């Protein structure tokens, strides 16, 4: 993490003589519900993951252990009280209280440095702080205690999200509580005032400033798949008869299915006919969709897709400079210009959509947190497979949570053991290569003891094995052992 947010935190830490010079460890959090079985009762789990900001984005995105499972959050359900406001408040507050309890053990280390041994062998003073939180929009609304369809970062009214507005902050929210009623701040500012966010329990933490950009749910699955692609289909059905619209949609599917095999391109043999779209499906469709709709829709729609894809691909870069940020902002302004066509033809009645509005904050968020691809929810989605879905399949499905936790603990211990063995050189080579190496050393020792003098048949003296390579101990000499030696056994096995 190389953004301004980290430097601001370091400046705050440096003002305190007790924390001056400490190594700053930002804690990156992420959580997302996932379904493991629909046919057997629609089992859902709510895993929570953690990483640190001191590793590179490429390391965090890799399918390794830079992102770890730390908890399963509670998901209370009630068919009778599901619509009860008190039960809904209980669920929201339980979410925040659970996260606050999980990180209680780190609270002291957020104000007083503790000495920790780093991977390079050196000891350093470390001080922790809550960092960016990876979440989709529904969870962002839950985290920031706002009403749906409002922005979790700014005070823009939900009826006109693209209007210029001030950023949300903890101090402003607390000031509203003193001057307005809960009903007023709900209607005018979209704030759920009777919920206490978990960040209030920790120093230097403001949840509104910690919401990270989400390329997967905001841009790829949100703006592209759920908005633009659906708007194209709606436009075709408005401007053409039902039969003609179906013919055009079939032709678009044929174009998508006819994509030539090429590196980096995916072939959709059934067109867009998926029951459930994944993030990878949407990413692959983005590469070929403009060519598929060209000629069937007006040029302004094609330009809308082109400017959006330019924005999306720029935001997905590993390295973003100031000049690249200017290109990103230019692409956003052109996207705003061309998307007006959908409102002109009455396909879209409003652009006050939270996921499209989030594009407005990307330049600011990149300044704060760096490249967004290191804070994307695709990392938590991929982690679901190893941390939740596979352990659930390996369980007996009865009270599976305890078995899943035990499986994750064992996997973590195996990964730690492998790293330790690799560091000690124990993972280099195989049993055969180790046995051959021992044989070579024994042969070299034998030649050294004989001085290179050849012996006649029947008059060979057996070379004494070195003490470190002795197979039979002194106490075992009295016992008969007709079986193969350990070395011979390894050779036979190999």
- Give the domain ranges of the chain: 4-134+376-423, 216-373, 428-446+483-494
pLDDT value for 320 = 93
Distance from C-alpha of 384 to C-alpha of 48, rounded to nearest angstrom: 10
**Is 196 strand, coil or helix?**
coil
**Is 43 strand, coil or helix?**
strand
pLDDT value for 275 = 59
Query: What one-character-per-residue DSSP string does 253-314 give?
Result: HHHHHTPPP-TT----TTTT--SS--HHHHHHHHHHHHHHHBTTB-HHHHHHHHHHHHHHHH
Distance of CA 63 to the CA centre of its chain: 10
pLDDT value for 436 = 87
C-alpha distances in Å from residue 118, one per residue of 70, 112, 241, 303, 319:
20, 18, 67, 51, 27
Decide: pTM greater than 0.85. Answer: no
DSSP H/E element including 463? none
pLDDT value for 40 = 59
In the numeric block, the tokens 């211990």 are attached to 413
pLDDT value for 469 = 41
pLDDT value for 490 = 38
Distance from C-alpha of 319 to C-alpha of 408, rounded to nearest angstrom: 33
Classify strands 114-117 and 123-134 as parallel, antiparallel or unpaired: antiparallel
Digitized pLDDT (tens) for each residue of the chain, 494 residues in all: 678 999 999 999 999 888 898 999 999 999 999 988 766 556 889 999 999 998 888 888 887 788 999 999 998 888 777 788 899 999 999 999 999 999 999 999 999 999 999 878 899 999 999 999 999 999 999 999 999 999 999 999 999 998 999 999 999 999 999 999 999 999 999 999 999 999 999 999 999 999 999 999 999 999 999 999 999 999 999 999 999 999 999 999 888 888 877 777 877 776 666 656 778 888 888 999 999 999 999 999 999 999 999 999 999 999 999 999 999 999 999 999 999 999 999 999 999 999 999 999 999 999 999 999 989 999 999 999 999 999 999 999 888 999 999 999 999 999 889 888 888 888 887 888 888 888 988 888 877 776 655 444 444 444 444 444 443 444 443 444 444 443 343 334 33
């Amino acid at each position: 993490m190389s953004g301004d947010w980290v430097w601001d935190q370091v400046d705050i830490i440096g003002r305190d003589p007790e924390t001056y010079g400490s190594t700053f460890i930002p804690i990156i959090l992420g959580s997302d519900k996932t379904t493991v079985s629909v046919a057997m009762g629609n089992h859902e789990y709510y895993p929570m993951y953690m990483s640190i900001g001191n590793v590179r984005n490429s390391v965090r995105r890799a399918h390794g252990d830079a992102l770890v499972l730390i908890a399963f959050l509670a998901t209370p359900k009630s068919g009778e009280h599901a619509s009860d406001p008190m039960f809904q408040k209980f669920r929201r507050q339980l979410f925040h209280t659970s996260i606050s309890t999980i990180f209680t053990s780190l609270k002291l280390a957020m104000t007083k440095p503790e000495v920790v041994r780093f991977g390079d062998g050196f000891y350093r003073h470390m001080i922790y702080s809550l960092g960016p939180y990876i979440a989709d929009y529904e969870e962002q609304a839950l985290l920031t205690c706002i009403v749906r369809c409002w922005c979790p970062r700014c005070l823009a009214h939900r009826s006109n999200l693209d209007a210029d507005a001030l950023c949300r902050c903890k101090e402003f929210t607390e000031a509203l509580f003193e001057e307005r009623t809960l009903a007023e701040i709900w209607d005018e500012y979209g704030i759920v005032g009777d919920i206490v966010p978990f960040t209030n329990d920790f120093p230097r933490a403001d949840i509104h400033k910690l919401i990270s950009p989400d390329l997967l749910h905001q841009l790829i699955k949100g703006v592209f798949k759920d908005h633009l692609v659906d708007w194209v289909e709606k436009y075709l059905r408005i401007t053409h008869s039902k039969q003609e619209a179906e013919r055009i949609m079939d032709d678009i599917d044929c174009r998508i299915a006819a994509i030539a095999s090429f590196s980096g391109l995916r072939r959709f043999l059934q067109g867009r006919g998926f029951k459930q779209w994944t993030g990878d499906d949407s990413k692959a469709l983005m590469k070929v969709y403009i060519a598929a709709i060209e000629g069937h829709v007006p040029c302004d729609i094609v330009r809308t897709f082109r400017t959006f894809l330019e924005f999306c691909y720029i935001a997905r870069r590993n390295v973003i400079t100031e000049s690249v940020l200017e290109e990103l902002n230019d692409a956003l302004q052109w996207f705003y210009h061309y998307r007006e066509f959908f409102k002109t033809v009455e396909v879209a009645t409003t652009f006050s959509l939270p996921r499209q509005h989030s594009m407005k904050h990307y330049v600011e968020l990149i300044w704060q947190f760096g490249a967004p691809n290191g804070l994307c929810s695709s990392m938590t989605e991929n982690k679901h497979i190893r941390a939740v879905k596979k352990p659930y399949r390996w369980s007996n499905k009865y009270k599976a949570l305890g078995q899943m936790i035990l499986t994750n603990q064992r996997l973590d211990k195996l990964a730690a053991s492998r790293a330790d063995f690799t560091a000690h050189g124990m993972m280099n080579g195989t049993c055969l290569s180790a046995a051959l190496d021992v044989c070579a050393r024994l042969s070299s020792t034998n030649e050294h003891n004989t001085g290179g003098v050849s012996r006649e048949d029947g008059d060979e003296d057996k070379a004494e094995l070195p003490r470190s390579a002795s197979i039979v101990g002194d106490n075992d000499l009295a016992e008969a052992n007709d079986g193969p030696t350990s070395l011979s056994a390894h050779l036979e096995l190999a």
